[in-house]
Chain A
Amino acid sequence: MKWTVEWTAAASTPDWNQVLRSQGLPEGEALPTRLVGLVDAAFERYLALAEPRAILGFVEPDVFAGIYRGEGLNSHETPLESIVPRASRLALFVATVGQRLSAEIGDLFARHQPAAGYMLDAVASEAADGLAYAAGRELLARLQDAGELANGARVLPYSPGYCGWHVSGQRKLFAFLGPETIGVTLNQSCLMQPLKSVSGVLVVGDSATHRVHPTYSFCDHCGTKQCRERMASVK
């Protein structure tokens, strides 16, 4: 079963302070008026232009296994290989904040307004990341309504391109979901258009579902380690 979700721009707007934190600004830092104006302008543009929406679809584990294998380019050992068998439900998703934002970001850079373009890019990126979690909440609500949500169930999104899941996995994911209906397409490099879009699998399970051993070969090359923090945060 597949379904689409639309949010208002306001509902998908990221936290004002989080946008600044993601750019390295320490919490509690006094902000100059000009900076507040720059960030406010970016949020105003976001509210005016965002068209957040998603498509989700339940997927059976055996079907997902084929999608996950993709074109055989995943890393040798990956977290999802141990996470998925423990999951109670899986759903694929693609979500986007829409094309108008990407176009506006490009226009701002082209009009030699890099500060405004960069700040809008930062807001839109935070918002797009947030949609993966919003899609997860939609999934939990749907399971709750159907009486299929176990006590203590948690959901986390996992995306192609991260943690050993090769980005070429997008092709089978897109073939399954058909996100063209919400305006998201894939290019030859398996990148999504509009740019500010997210995709992946939503894994539902108890907190133990999302625990994995701490390192994989590809972790050596990763400077962020965000996924470990994310998985560890599920309690």
Chain B
Amino acid sequence: MDLLKSIAESLEHGDDERVHALVTEAVAAGLPAGDVLNQGLIAGMGVVGEQFRLREIFLPDVLLAARAMYAGLDVLKPLLARDGVPTAGTVVIGSVQGDLHDIGKNLVGIMLKGAGFEVVDLGNDVAPERFVDAAARSGAAVIGLSALLTTTMSVMKDVVDLVKARGLKARVIVGGAPVSEAFAKDIGADAYGFDAANAVDRVKALAAGA
């Protein structure tokens, strides 16, 4: 138990080398990979996400924590696959067609992975059909749409409409500088994430069926 706590704390401090060493030690000690993931890595990223939400730490700190998370996952991934440990769900993300800005979307992807989600990142300039096809193929619970330009945010409605037309169960969350809660409601999206940490919270709620 102390080992898992140490993993979480080392991750919070962005110490990738120590996380790698501790996860290796935990596995060698026979701790279940799922426990190391959930009570070590994801627990640590949860604290990081909360601190980021409260503005107690900053984006670069999150990046360091994410690097530490990946250092631990490098050790765990084969074991998670072997043990059939389920993810928190699948999320398809991308910047909408006509928009090349993906820094915010990338951060959301990093933090979603840190929260235990499987992330299908379609990149930027993603056509509505690609979002919907990827969600259908992967069985995604949530589709995350990002836009930075006022001139491209209208594409978000096209995706929402297509999700409904195709009868997908996936819920849609939108975010990006020009997007607002009111806009999300207007276009029929299921949620709006005002920043990366908030987006992860909203995705968790959507994936849980809220």
Partners in one complex: yes
- List the A residue with the shortest CB-CB distance to B176: A223
Report A182 CB to chain B, min CB distance, Å. 18
Question: Which of A115, A125, A223 meets B177, CB within 8 Å?
Answer: A223
- Tell me whether A118 and B107 are in contact (CB under 8 A): yes
- List the A residue with the shortest CB-CB distance to B64: A34
With contacts A115-B64, A195-B124 taken as known, whether A125 is within 8 angstroms of B103 at the C-beta atoms is yes
- The answer to the question of B60 belonging to the interface, with a C-beta cut-off of 8 Å to chain A, is yes
Interface size for chain B: under 10, 10 to 19, 20 to 34, or 35 or more residues?
35 or more
3 cross-chain pairs, A with B, having the tightest CB-CB distances, nearest first: A115-B63, A115-B67, A223-B177
With contacts A118-B110, A121-B106 taken as known, whether A167 is within 8 angstroms of B149 at the C-beta atoms is yes
Question: Which of B106, B178, B180 meets A114, CB within 8 Å?
Answer: B106
- The answer to the question of A187 belonging to the interface, with a C-beta cut-off of 8 Å to chain B, is yes
- Tell me whether A24 and B59 are in contact (CB under 8 A): yes
- Encoded as 1 (CB less than 8 Å from any A CB) or 0, chain B from 98 to 132 comes to 11101100110110010000000100110000000
Question: Which of A32, A113, A118 meets B106, CB within 8 Å?
Answer: A118
Question: Which of A35, A73, A125 meets B60, CB within 8 Å?
Answer: A35
Which of B1-9, B33-41, B150-158 lies at the interface?
B150-158
- The answer to the question of A95 belonging to the interface, with a C-beta cut-off of 8 Å to chain B, is no
Report B11 CB to chain A, min CB distance, Å. 12
In the bound complex, what is the Cα–Cα distance between A222 and B147 (angstroms)? 11
Q: Using Cβ atoms and an 8 Å threshold, which residues of chain A touch B99?
A: 191
- Tell me whether B64 and A114 are in contact (CB under 8 A): no
With contacts A166-B151, A221-B153 taken as known, whether A114 is within 8 angstroms of B63 at the C-beta atoms is yes
- The answer to the question of A38 belonging to the interface, with a C-beta cut-off of 8 Å to chain B, is yes
User: Would you list 7 pairs from A and B whose C-beta atoms are within 8 A, ordered by A residue?
Assistant: A25-B60, A35-B61, A38-B64, A114-B66, A118-B110, A166-B151, A195-B100
Report B208 CB to chain A, min CB distance, Å. 25
- Tell me whether B59 and A222 are in contact (CB under 8 A): no
- Tell me whether A114 and B100 are in contact (CB under 8 A): no
Q: Using Cβ atoms and an 8 Å threshold, which residues of chain B touch A38?
A: 60, 63-64, 67
- Encoded as 1 (CB less than 8 Å from any A CB) or 0, chain B from 78 to 100 comes to 00000000000000000001111
